[in-house]
């Protein structure tokens, strides 16, 4: 067996074990008994210890030194294994296991605190998570990742080659146009009416399944469950989705489902030859979010698709408070300065991300401590959105990310929106009759285009390269901003 073959066989087993760890996480968030939380933390720590030992096994370094790639895909796989090997070697085994144990427990504590609107219940645990995340970031920075900056070293795990400086510069370019559009829209004379009524959970879930099918979700390799915070999990031939239900707000369920279908379809669309290899998953969270956001927004909130959804909701729920399909389209895209990021309209969404990004950077180098995080959040939210946070579940407790140590993850949501803007422009140029399919509740032509241009490649190309190959130009925020201005000025008659 050549060094390359030996390394890839070893890597395949490591990837399989990582999938098992992911399944434990899915189980914890969906069906695990509440009383099992402490034991699950030990289980997660144990499997992370096994994974860390494999990922830092000296044989991996020896095989990397001796391996010769048989083709470009093999060369890219070696590049990714080498990068992961150096990152994992920089983090002590003790830290990796403790991080897994604490964040596993933290998820349940965060969920309890969120349900009780009790920040104090969560802060001691968040202190531990932040301390471990800082230690991890510092260890990676000392090994040369992130250019020696702890926050950039963490960000690099989700969006390789991105830096906080480059993201901050992009946000600075975006913010003036977003704020100007928001002010114009909120000052419009005839805003769309909200949807009102009661929408039974079982019927919402039934229609959510229809929505997933409309986008080409493969039910033979997936499933839909409920979770406190919607997410998708898995890759290869097992990519699961979750959603949540609010009986007065069916859009929460429907668009969370479509969003997670975007993530799962990306994983299911990767070339089967890459399964259980370093190429067998999305190349970055920014590219991943490009899939979920284009499904949710440019496709799922389009006039054509909402026209079909309007008819489906009439069939499932009976009469709606919104009469015509055109008014329904306006209602689906209604702009309001709400509290919740996952429910935010397209105009406000990136402003939510910018706020979280700034708070994260302050936690990792700007003098902000966990004890002051709620006050910092509330002050910034009032400044950015003009509304005072009314309860912690609508504020600092709303997102799961910090409880599980995902520092550096939030900016990838806006990167995903930017990438989605580029992809949407290219998609529309190639599929001139797309609205005909969307109007009949069939988003599969769009999924087919995205599968060919983006999804099938998995980790074969670098993030920016994936978008440039698909669109014929380097990623830019301009297509997204142009799309937002054209869409919402038309909806609001500006």
The single residue of 15, 29, 159, 260 carrying the catalytic annotation is 260
Burial class (CB in 10 A: 0-12, 13-18, 19+), 161: exposed
Q: How far apart are alpha carbons 395 and 387 in whole angstroms?
A: 11
Q: Tell me if residue 260 is catalytic.
A: yes
Closest among 348, 432, 330 to 387, alpha carbons compared: 348
Q: List active site positions.
A: 260
């Amino acid at each position: 067996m050549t060094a390359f073959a030996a390394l890839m066989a070893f890597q395949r087993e490591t990837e399989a074990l990582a999938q098992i760890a992911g399944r434990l996480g899915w189980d914890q968030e969906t069906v695990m008994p509440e009383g099992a939380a402490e034991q699950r933390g030990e289980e997660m720590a144990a499997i992370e210890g096994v994974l860390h030992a494999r990922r830092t096994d000296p044989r991996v370094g020896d095989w990397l030194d001796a391996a010769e790639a048989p083709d470009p895909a093999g060369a890219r796989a070696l590049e990714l294994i080498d990068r992961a090997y150096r990152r994992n070697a920089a983090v002590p085994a003790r830290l990796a296991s403790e991080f897994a144990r604490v964040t596993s427990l933290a998820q349940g504590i965060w969920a309890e605190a969120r349900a009780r609107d009790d920040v104090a219940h969560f802060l001691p645990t968040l202190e531990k998570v932040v301390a471990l995340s800082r230690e991890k970031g510092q260890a990676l920075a000392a090994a040369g990742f992130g250019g020696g900056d702890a926050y950039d070293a963490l960000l690099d795990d989700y969006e390789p080659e991105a830096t906080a400086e480059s993201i901050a510069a992009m946000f600075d370019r975006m913010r003036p146009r977003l704020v100007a559009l928001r002010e114009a829209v909120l000052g419009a004379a005839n805003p769309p009416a909200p949807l009102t009524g009661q929408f039974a959970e079982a019927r919402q879930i039934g229609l959510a399944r229809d929505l997933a099918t409309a986008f080409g979700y493969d039910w033979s390799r997936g499933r839909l469950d409920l979770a406190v915070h919607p997410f998708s999990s898995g890759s290869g031939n097992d990519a699961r989705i979750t959603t949540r239900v609010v009986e007065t707000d069916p859009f929460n369920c429907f668009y969370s489902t479509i969003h997670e279908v975007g993530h799962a379809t990306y994983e299911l669309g990767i070339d089967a030859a890459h399964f259980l290899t370093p190429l067998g998953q999305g190349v970055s969270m920014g590219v991943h979010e490009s899939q979920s956001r284009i499904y949710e927004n440019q496709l799922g909130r389009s006039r054509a698709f909402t026209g079909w959804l309007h008819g489906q909701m009439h069939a499932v729920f009976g009469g709606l408070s919104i009469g015509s399909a055109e008014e329904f389209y306006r209602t689906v895209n209604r702009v309001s300065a709400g509290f919740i990021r996952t429910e935010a309209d397209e105009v406000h969404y990136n402003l939510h991300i910018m706020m979280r990004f700034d708070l994260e950077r302050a936690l990792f180098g700007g003098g902000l401590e966990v004890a002051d995080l709620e006050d910092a959040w509330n002050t910034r939210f009032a400044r950015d959105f003009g509304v005072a946070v009314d309860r912690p579940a609508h504020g600092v407790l709303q997102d799961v990310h910090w409880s599980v140590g995902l520092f550096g993850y939030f900016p990838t949501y806006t990167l995903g929106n930017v990438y989605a803007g580029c992809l949407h422009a290219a998609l529309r140029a190639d599929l001139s009759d797309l609205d005909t399919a969307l109007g009949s509740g069939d988003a599969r032509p769009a999924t087919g285009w995205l599968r060919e241009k983006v999804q099938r490649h998995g980790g074969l190309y670098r993030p920016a390269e994936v978008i440039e190959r698909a669109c014929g130009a380097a990623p830019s925020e301009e297509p997204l901003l142009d799309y937002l201005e054209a869409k919402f000025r038309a909806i609001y008659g500006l």
